[in-house]
Amino acid sequence: MQVAGTRILITGASSGIGEALSKLMAKHGARVILVSENQTELQRVTRDIAATGGDAVSVTLDLTSSDRAGAIARLEAEHGPIDVLINNAGMGLGAAVTETKDKDLRLVFELNFFASFDLARQALQQMRSRQRGVIVNVTSAAARLGSPGISVYSATKGAVHAFSQALRIEAAASGIQVCECLPISVQTKFFANARGSKYTPGGVVITPERVAFTIYRAISRNQVPCEILPFRPIRLAFVLDACLPGVLPSLAIAAQNRRIRAEARDHNA
């Protein structure tokens, strides 16, 4: 798809990956429709894009509220047909399973899964009549490799992963392409803003601009790939887990036990 001249709707556009995506797509000639509940930051991103000659409109919308109903049809009526939907909005939750509060569990699922499902469903209904369009669901490597301490977040992204696989097949009959982006930890305020206890990602951390570029490159192709991996080495972990499903959990448990023993020694010292 030629990005220039398209209309691209990006959720979670006020910061992080969404902000980087918005600026990059606008730079390449797309008209970007930016959605977030953070009006102040959303307007800042819109001004930044306008200052560089880009075409952007901001839409303040709480995707966990009833205002989400019919949003795609309303936006198309005001701004024209949407060619690409990028479901990027999301929130984290740092909590052990036994410490997870019901209200947090339901809120994170509402934004991370139900909002993505609902907007994709709405977009599919609109795009079907045109027999074209692209839907990108931004999930996480945690969708395939659940992580301790962020079990709810991992579960929401795992749900979007399975949904994306099913939607890809259903949508193909209408000429609509669906892909999923699975980044590893990204250098944003995401973890600082997460609900619950503080979660500090370990290992490699990539930039939001890197994620944005891989998505841009993917949707610029005539045939959008099924999966986008901004950090390609993670595929080795996916393959290992698929072929030998007990290996990675065993390594994680061993690392956890070492950490517990080290903390106990420090406490007794």
Active site annotation includes 199: no
Note whether 42 and 10 are within 8 A (CB): no
What DSSP assignment string belongs to 97-118?
Answer: GGG--HHHHHHHHIIIIIHHHH
Strand segments, DSSP code E, in the chain are 7-11, 31-36, 55-60, 84-87, 93-94, 134-138, 177-181, 195-196, 227-228
Cα dist from 128 to 5, 99, 123, whole Å: 20, 43, 8
109, 153, 190, 199: the catalytic one is 153
What is the CB neighbour count within 10 angstroms for residue 213?
Answer: 15
Which residues, in sequence order, are CB contacts of 18 under 8 Å at separation 6+?
A: 10, 11, 12, 34, 36, 86, 88, 89
Determine the 3-state secondary structure of 154 from DSSP. helix
Q: Which residue has the tokens 């991992």?
A: 154
Determine the 3-state secondary structure of 198 from DSSP. coil
Angle at 215 between CA 49 and CA 19, to 5 degrees: 30
Supply the residues annotated as catalytic. Answer: 153
